[in-house]
A and B are shown apart, each in its own frame.
Chain A
Amino acid sequence: MADPVDPILSVSDLTVSFRSDGRWREVVHGVSFDVGPRETVALVGESGSGKSVSALSILRLLPRDASRIGGRVRFAGRELLAAPEAEMRRVRGDAIAMIFQEPMTSLNPVLTIGFQIAEALIRHRGLSRSAAEAEALRLLDKVRIPAARSRLHEYPHRFSGGMRQRVMIAMALACRPKLLIADEPTTALDVTIQAQILDLIKSLQDEEGMSVLFITHDMGVVAEIADRTVVMYRGRAVEAGPTARIFEAPVEPYTRSLLAAVPRLGTMAGRARPMRFPVVDRTTGLAAPTPETPDTVQAAERPVLEVRDLTTRFDIRSGLLGRVTGRVHAVEGVSFSIAAGETLALVGESGCGKSTTGRAILRLVEPLSGSVLLDGEDIIGLDPKALRARRQRMQMIFQDPFASLDPRMSVGAAVAEPLLINRLAAPREARRRAEDLLARVGLGPETAGRFPHEFSGGQRQRICIARALALNPRLIVADEAVSALDVSVKAQVVNLMLDLQAELGLAYLFISHDMAVVERVSHRVAVMYLGEIVEIGPRAAVFGDPQHPYTRKLLAAVPVPDPARRGERHALPDDEIRSPIRAPDYVPPERLYREVSPGHVVQDRGAGWTGSAAGEAAA
């Protein structure tokens, strides 16, 4: 484990500056850490902590003209920062290899994957092209790509995100590197795929005996994989040590506040209501008491929202005449209801139809069939004018706070806009109300004249919440509303949402892929898979006693931010997430549901369900 003698990589006093607007700005200030042989070290931090920049500067991959690197990077007895560029090139891809965050964009679209893997072998081992491609085939088998031989000469666009990341790993392993730098390699992947890739990296590390420098923002992943952890904050390594020690007894206030904000799956057992995140002061490291959330659910009243058999499909047209050659069954027969003051979470992986469900409820996409009852009134089939009036009672918050605000409109104007559109207030009155709303989400009235680009991500999401509140809605559809935010910011926004629910009796449809956050905020949970709800029920029941195999798989895949529980997860099969695209003549089968306990309903699919492609085909 943590072996102080002879580290393979030793970074000391690393500084990195970037030039912007003609000025040099230092973003990494004297970071030092070691990576021992066969050791996994995690560099963890929020966005802007300088973790990725530090990783890239080890291989000197930052743009040469716009960046400056200082300090020392010793690798296997060589000083990398002083090495001439030609020598550096001999190190890259040979002794040190790197994989990146975005598997969808990290492969060259016009070259076959076989050739891209072979490239490093040709370069560093001097193999012929055919010998290198034979070796590439072996590597593809090693990273468990099915039917590797036939896929060797395919182009990247035929591979899914998870498969591309496997190709990236095969490429990185080509020359048997001593050190693998993995820069957020699982961040862009779904949670089940993330679990597979983490397992793969771990087992390959054991086989090859290499060291891994793992850059991530996810404390769960850190706990899962790292022997030692370096916590970074604003360009500095604030705390370093064995992973278990960091999690058990964090010393620095920042580490404490970070860990306090990390949602942990399973900590909500025995609680019925959502819970705020504890607030830890970043400078003192002291925790403020966490107030209990009141019971907000108005179960006796008629639900705010009742969705029955909602179905949304998209045609796929191709060919010269634009014939329908397939159909995306995005949402298939989805039914649920939400009471006032209640949070229903809709969880699932990419492509499961959870976002489409949210958008179909607001009729931002037109559903094919089904009914959406808002306070008992069906809004499907309303004419545009009537629909606009009903939409005032349900609002939406989106995932990307950067794209959610018109860059050309001051935030005061943005928050006031819904009032003006619906003629609910005169301009002067709307401005005053906008300032009130901004104050309510924790932003001062002086911010009203500012423009979106002057705010951070968390602040923008607050502005979006203020805008959604302007119309006094009964229901807010939050589509991955906190997913893009850093963990501590995420905790604050979640707390804000819970406070607003308590104050205003809001109902939330909380759409998310993040099981740990969902456990924290929701009263009830619906799990979606391939456009259908496979399990729905009270949060405690679904998380405590998952019935559907897919729910179990999803929960098992979530990395737990607790090194003591490492390895509890059982291995997941190496399959891909299935696509909801079907032939145009496909008729979805009748579904049967059974009630396990009061309100906890599971789709019944017989014993044959495995969640894998093979199992599906057989079903």
Chain B
Amino acid sequence: MGAYILRRLLIAIPSLLGISLILFTVLALAPGDPFGELASNPNVPPEVRAALRVKFGLDDPIFTRYLHWLTAMLQGDWGFSFASRVNVAALILQRLPTTLFVVGSSQVLALLIAVPVGLTAARRPYSLADQVANTLAFVGFSLPTFFTGLLFILLFSIKLGWLPFVYQADLPGTGLPWIWANVRQAIMPVAVLGFFQAASYTRYVRASALDVARLDYVTTARAKGLTEGTVTRRHIARNALIPVVTLVALQIPAVFGGAIVTEQIFRIPGIGSLLIDAMLANDTPVVMAVTFVFAGLVILFNLVADLLYGWLDPRIALR
């Protein structure tokens, strides 16, 4: 297992390098050279501009520039935002917890829905319950998050007035009311993102559980006289979740994509809305840094998924 973790860690490094290379290539190929634009932006004072020119080594060969850029990125030396004149790293660190909170809770919600519903649906394939779950799942992942978000606002904020539709990271107050206010404002974004993911995860769990349910060892388990519940929990669920982990890992980039949309709809001050705002304001250092952070997060969570996979499947340590 230790060797397995080490191997996954080592594999993550070339991935990170590869992603950084792709990002850098996009930037380098971009017309009007964002680096140059950065250094020639009229908002930047002349002395800062000169420092930037040196820092980015604009006249160096391309590979040297990549190395410079990468070391700067890895050291968290991400420069200053044009728009707010704040250190980009500080800006992102301030916004990151909100994003992680919303994304994390929505994933927990998605799995809490998907695993039981998927397993139940697979127990009686093509039964009424299965068909209802299946149809709902289809509806769920055919509803884009931006549309569900608007529908939720329309229903719960405008028509019913139950929930606030603008998210505030720094709500005033203390104690229970403060916690309740936080929960209330998180309900809609978390639900929007969670339901969308739950729909596709339900399909994965169901398909995987159906595959496992027809395997011989499940018949063996039944032949031992175990109850259906035990068979499902002990023999089907764990085996069925192994491929689901891989599929969920593949969804991670999409999850962060969904986070950008939800943050935009509910005006959540996370790094997703930061990215959009920065783009609309031509704030290149922030755009670059946030994209890089997203890439890092995806790799991090892929690593987590790999470890989970190794923990679920005893055969994995051999490979």
- Chain A positions within 8 Å of B, measured between CB atoms, are 56, 59, 61, 65, 89-94, 97-98, 100-102, 105-111, 119-120, 123-124, 155, 157, 168, 171, 320
A49 to chain B, nearest CB (A): 20
0 or 1 for each of B233-256: is its CB under 8 Å from A? (1 = yes)? 011001100100000000000000
Q: List 27 A-B contacts (CB under 8 A).
A: A89-B225, A89-B227, A92-B224, A93-B223, A93-B225, A100-B216, A102-B216, A105-B215, A105-B217, A106-B219, A107-B220, A108-B220, A109-B217, A109-B313, A109-B315, A110-B238, A110-B239, A110-B312, A110-B313, A110-B314, A111-B234, A111-B235, A119-B221, A119-B226, A120-B225, A155-B315, A171-B220
- B177-217 residues at the A interface, CB under 8 angstroms: 215-217
Are B225 and A106 in contact (CB-based, < 8 A)? Answer: no
* Chain A residues whose C-beta falls within 8 Å of the C-beta of B68 in the assembled complex: none
Beta-carbon contact of A89 and B226 below 8 Å:
yes
Closest Cβ of chain A to B242, distance in Å, is 8
| C-alpha spacing A98/B222, complex, angstroms | 10
Shortest CB–CB separation between residue B137 and chain A, in angstroms? 21
Is B124 part of the binding interface, using a Cβ–Cβ cutoff of 8 Å? Answer: yes
- B7–A320 CB distance below 8 A: yes
**Contact B220 A92, beta carbon cutoff 8 Å:** no
Cα-based distance from A102 to B216 in the complex (angstroms): 8
CB <8 Å contact, A106 and B220: yes
- A56 to B223 alpha-carbon distance, docked (Å): 9
- Give Cα A100 to B216, complex, Å: 8
Most buried by B among A100, A101, A108: A108
Give Cα A59 to B222, complex, Å.
9
On whether the beta carbons of A98 and B215 are closer than 8 Å, the reply is: no
Cβ–Cβ < 8 Å partners of A92 in chain B: 222-225
- With a cutoff of 8 Å between Cβ atoms, the chain A residues found around residue B30 in the complex are none
**With a CB–CB cut-off of 8 A, which chain B residues contact A90?**
225
- B11: chain A residues within 8 A (beta carbon): 320
Q: Are B223 and A123 closer than 8 Å at their CB atoms?
A: no
Indicate which residue in B216, B242, B314 contacts A105 across the interface (CB closer than 8 Å). B216
Q: Are B124 and A65 in contact (CB under 8 A)?
A: yes
Which residues of chain B have C-beta atoms less than 8 A from A107's C-beta?
A: 217, 220
The 9 A-B pairs of least Cβ separation, nearest first, read A93-B224, A92-B225, A93-B225, A105-B216, A98-B223, A120-B224, A106-B216, A155-B314, A108-B217
A239 to chain B, nearest CB (A): 29
A94, B225: Cα distance in complex, Å: 7
| Cross-chain contact of B221 among A59, A65, A108, A320 (Cβ < 8 A) | A108
Judged by DSSP, the binding face of B is helix
Distance of B68 from chain A, by nearest CB (Å): 29
Cβ distance A197 to chain B, nearest Cβ, rounded Å? 16
Residue of B at shortest CB range from A320? B7
B224/A109 in contact, CB under 8 A: no
**B318 contacts A by Cβ under 8 Å:** yes
User: A123 near B225 (CB under 8 angstroms)?
Assistant: yes
User: Which residues of B are found within 8 Å of A168, using beta-carbon distances?
Assistant: 220
B94 within 8 A of A: no
Give the CA-CA distance A108 to B213 in the complex, in Å. 11
Distance (whole angstroms) from the CB of B305 to the closest CB of chain A: 17
Bound together, the chains give a CA A98 to CA B127 distance in angstroms of 29
A111-B234, A157-B318 known; A119 vs B224 contact (CB < 8 Å): yes
A61 contacts B219, CB within 8 Å? Answer: yes
Q: A124 CA to B227 CA in the complex, in Å?
A: 11
Q: B10 in the interface, Cβ–Cβ < 8 Å?
A: yes
Smallest beta-carbon distance A504→chain B, Å: 43
B residues contacting the other copy or chain, number (CB 8 A): 30
Q: A106 CA to B125 CA in the complex, in Å?
A: 22
In the assembled complex, which residues on chain A have CB atoms less than 8 Å from the CB atom of B315?
Answer: 109, 155, 157
Say yes or no: B314 contacts A109, CB within 8 Å.
yes
Q: Which residues of the partner chain A approach B224 to less than 8 Å between Cβ atoms? A: 92-93, 97, 119-120, 123, 171
Quick one: CB contact mask for B124-139 with A, threshold 8 Å, 1 for yes? 1111000000000000
A92–B235 alpha-carbon span in the complex (Å) = 17
* Given A107-B217, A108-B239; A61-B225 close (CB under 8 Å): no
* Assembly CA distance A102 to B217 (angstroms): 9
Determine the chain A residues whose CB is within 8 A of the CB of B242 once the complex forms: 110
**A164 → B minimal CB distance (Å):** 11
Minimum distance in angstroms from B231 CB to a CB of chain A: 10
In the bound complex, residues from chain B placing their C-beta under 8 Å from that of A320 are: 7, 10-11
Residue-by-residue, is B286-319 near A (CB-CB < 8 Å gives 1, otherwise 0)?
A: 0000000000000000000000000011110010
CB distance from A135 to the nearest CB of B (A): 14
Which residues of chain A have C-beta atoms less than 8 A from B221's C-beta? Answer: 108, 119
Having A100-B216, A105-B216, A106-B220, one finds 4 other A-B pairs with CB under 8 Å, namely: A91-B225, A108-B235, A119-B226, A155-B314
Residues of chain A within 8 A of B223, CB atoms compared: 59, 61, 92-93, 97-98
When A105-B217, A108-B217 are in contact, do A123 and B124 touch as well, CB less than 8 Å?
no
A105 to B318, CA, bound (A): 19
Chain A residue at minimum C-beta to C-beta distance from B315: A157
What are the residues of chain B within 8 A of A108 when measuring CB–CB? Answer: 217, 220-221, 235, 239
Residue of B nearest to A174 (CB): B224
Q: How far is the CA of A155 from the CA of B239 in the complex (A)?
A: 13
Looking at B10, B124, B220, B226, the one whose CB has the most chain A CB atoms below 10 A away is B220
CA distance A105 to B216 in the complex (A): 6
Question: In the assembled complex, which residues on chain B have CB atoms less than 8 Å from the CB atom of A120?
Answer: 224-225
Within 8 A of A (CB), among B5-28: 7, 10-11
Contacts of A97 in B (CB 8 A): 223-224
Residue of A nearest to B214 (CB): A63
Chain B residues with Cβ under 8 A from A59's Cβ?
Answer: 223
> Nearest chain-B residue to A96 (Cβ)?
B223
Q: List residues of chain B with CB within 8 A of the CB of A93.
A: 223-226
Question: What is the minimal beta-carbon distance from A516 to any residue of chain B, in angstroms?
Answer: 28
Distance in angstroms between the alpha carbons of A124 and B225 in the assembled complex? 8
A542 to chain B, nearest CB (A): 37
Q: Are B217 and A106 in contact (CB under 8 A)?
A: yes
Complex CA distance for A389 and B225, rounded to whole angstroms: 60
Closest-by-CB residue of A relative to B239 is A110
Interface centre among B222, B225, B238, B318 (most CB of A within 10 A): B225
CB distance from B247 to the nearest CB of A (A): 18
A391 CA to B217 CA in the complex, in Å? 43
Which residue of B10, B124, B215 has the most chain A CB atoms within 10 A of its CB atom? B215
Shortest Cβ gap from B56 to chain A (Å): 35
Closest A residue to B227 using CB positions = A89
Nearest residue (CB) in A for B222 is A61
In the assembled complex, the CB of A107 is this many whole angstroms from the nearest CB of chain B, namely: 6
* Contact assessment for B226 and A123 in the assembled complex, using a CB-CB cutoff below 8 Å: yes
Residue of A nearest to B236 (CB): A108
By beta carbon, the residue of chain A nearest B218 is A108
Name the distance in Å between B220's Cβ and chain A's nearest Cβ.
5
Query: CB within 8 A of A65: which of B10, B127, B217, B238?
Result: B127
Q: B241: nearest residue on chain A (CB-CB)?
A: A110
Q: Which of A90, A101, A110 has the most CB of B within 10 A?
A: A110
- Find A100's partner among B126, B219, B226, B239 (CB 8 Å cutoff): B219
Contact code string B30-65 (vs A, CB < 8 Å = 1, else 0): 000000000000000000000000000000000000
Instruction: List A contacts of B226 (CB < 8 A).
Output: 89, 93, 119, 123
Closest A residue to B314 using CB positions: A155
Tell me, in angstroms, the Cα distance from A171 to B216 when the chains sit together: 14
Q: Which residues of B contact A119 (CB under 8 A)?
A: 221, 224, 226
Residues in chain B near residue A94, CB distance under 8 A: 225
Closest partner residue, chain A, to B224 (CB atom) = A93
